A and B are shown apart, each in its own frame.
Chain A
Amino acid sequence: MKLRRPLAGLFLLLCLHDPALAAAETLTILHINDFHGALQPTRPAAERPEEGGAARLAALVKAERTPTTLFLAAGDLLQGTNLSNLFAGQPAIEAFNLMGLDASAVGNHEFDNRQPALGERAAAARFPFLAANITGDGPWKPAVILTVGSLRVALFGLTTEETPVATHPRNVKGLVFGDPVATARRLVAELRPQADLIVALTHLGVEEDEKLAAAVPGIDVIVGGHTHTKIEQPETIGGALVLQAYERGVFLGRLDLDVTDGKVTAHRYRLLPVTAAGGEDPAVAALVTGYQQRLCDRMNEPVGTALVDLEGGKEAMRTRETNLGDLVADAMREAAGADVALVNGGTIRAGIPAGPVTRGTIYNALPFDNWLISFAITGKELREALETGVARVEVRDGGFSQVSGMSFTFDPKAPAGSRIVAVSVGGQPLDESHRYVIATHDFLAAGGNGYTVFAGHDPVYNDSGRWLRVVLEDWWRRRGNVAYATDGRIAEVRP
């Protein structure tokens, strides 16, 4: 229906004089979480299209921007790929500077390169890192108030309380991670009189975000991360919209809020896939290409020399002791300060030939993103773990144990579960009631490869931001030249 001209004029006049209609504005929030240094697109499987990538994300952000847009990240921006890790997160900072990121929460993995490096990255960022519940010196702010169009938008950050137990204590020395709900109550009371809208930028996980929304009235939007949850449409809990956009910049979330006099009157939401179809931002593409070239140099950096061939072939790693298995397990035990170490043969994917060893050589041998973790178990549990390791030796199972600090003899012909013939730890017979600290990695610590006996133990060492390959690289650099021979720590009963 067309309005006749005099009526249309009257309608316009009413709009201009109605305070509610006159103050109406739409705020667009673009958001990501858990980017984890995913600067390059990834192809999850051969038959699937590429996903994500900083240059494509940047192009999509540019295309979706309106004059009243905030672009936000919910933490864990920096750590997770060789390309970002080997430059301590700097490429991700530069990419998000080019994208015009407005703010990021502090994720638990922001501490992986230790606090001085986080300080340097934050100083290079043209956006603030936000964390209101971390007490102690750091480069973050509790909150900021940004003016977007005619709206004053308050943003405050919250970081998971699990951070101190999910990373090495040295990474969070001097910091206290407080209760997010109590912190949010205080922040909302302080910020509400100064702002039209309040946005919590959190790295807590979606379940904690839901609790936060229910417990703290006055938050309009929670932009969350940590659990890598794909929320197709935001839930409204206690008046707050709870968002999370999966992981690694594979999706960009877009929330449009219609706001009238400081009240959200309507919202629309889409999860936008980041694909090749949207093109690439040339400046970000050039940045990533530059770092890729520098990454090649970093991968070719010498670490030391192997004075002998180190055996890492699949058949050997899954059936018997090898000198590379010994070496990796010894490096793990040393790094964790544990009594013993156990790593499954399937973790080690390639041998290291005699000659110069580069970073790339080590990364090729240990390609998986597993980290070191240690905990105390009884001697009885240790025996059970070793039984697990040899239970499927005849099918070359990846669970076969390579060990350090202990030796064992097994009979591959005996029934599974009864194959361990003898075990000694530190040269002494295994004491089934004694508690030994064992170093392993996160996959086995969760009960992977059948090592269910490892699950549920309280860790005494947990360094989730430092992959095993980095542990081995550091071990090698301290030694330079390495010659390793098997020493009989794994023996097989032969007829």
Chain B
Amino acid sequence: MSLVRIRFNDEERQLAAGLRVRSLLSRDQVVRVQQGELVVLDGKGRERGLDGALTDGLALRLAPRPRG
């Protein structure tokens, strides 16, 4: 399996296997995640690190970090 299918911000993507969350984000978005303004969440609302693997069938969204 050298390709994976994921959903990112409700958009279907087919990508090379082995890419990571960071690969989906612009440099600006990476900085905003690092600053704690944004967060990458999976379908169950769990936070994903920037270098997390993108595995087949994954659904992710970039969202404002919940307060508190």
Which A residues have a C-beta under 8 Å from some C-beta of B? 34, 36, 44-45, 47-48, 80, 108, 160-162, 165-167, 205-208, 226-232, 246-248, 346, 369, 373, 375, 398, 442-443, 445-449, 455-459, 462, 464
Contacts and interface: CB of A to CB of B under 8 A. Distances in A.
B24 interface: yes
Majority DSSP secondary structure for residues of A touching B: loop
Interface string B53-68: 1010110000000000
A231 B46 contact: yes
B45 to A, nearest CB: 10
B51 A34 contact: yes
A207 B18 contact: no
B49 A230 contact: yes
Interface of B: 1-3, 13-27, 31, 34-36, 42, 46-53, 55, 57-58
Given A162-B53, A446-B24, A459-B16, A45 B36 contact: yes
Contacts of A229: 42, 46-49, 52
A476 B18 CA distance: 27
Contacts of A455: 13-15
Contacts of A446: 13, 15-16, 19, 23-24
Given A166-B53, A246-B47, A375-B16, 11 more contacts: A34-B49, A34-B52, A227-B52, A227-B55, A228-B51, A232-B46, A247-B49, A442-B19, A446-B15, A446-B16, A447-B15
A443 B51 CA distance: 12
Nearest to A449: B26
A75 B19 CA distance: 17
B17 A162 contact: yes
Nearest to A347: B27
Contact of A44 (B19, B24, B25, B36): B36
Contacts of B20: 442
Contacts of B25: 448
Nearest to A456: B14
Given A161-B1, A167-B18, A443-B23, A226 B49 contact: no
B18 A165 contact: yes
Nearest to A208: B55
B16 A448 contact: no
Contacts of B52: 34, 226-229, 247
A65 to B, nearest CB: 26
A24 B13 CA distance: 50
A45 B18 contact: no
A297 to B, nearest CB: 27
Contacts of B13: 446-447, 455-456
Nearest to A459: B16
B49 A248 contact: yes
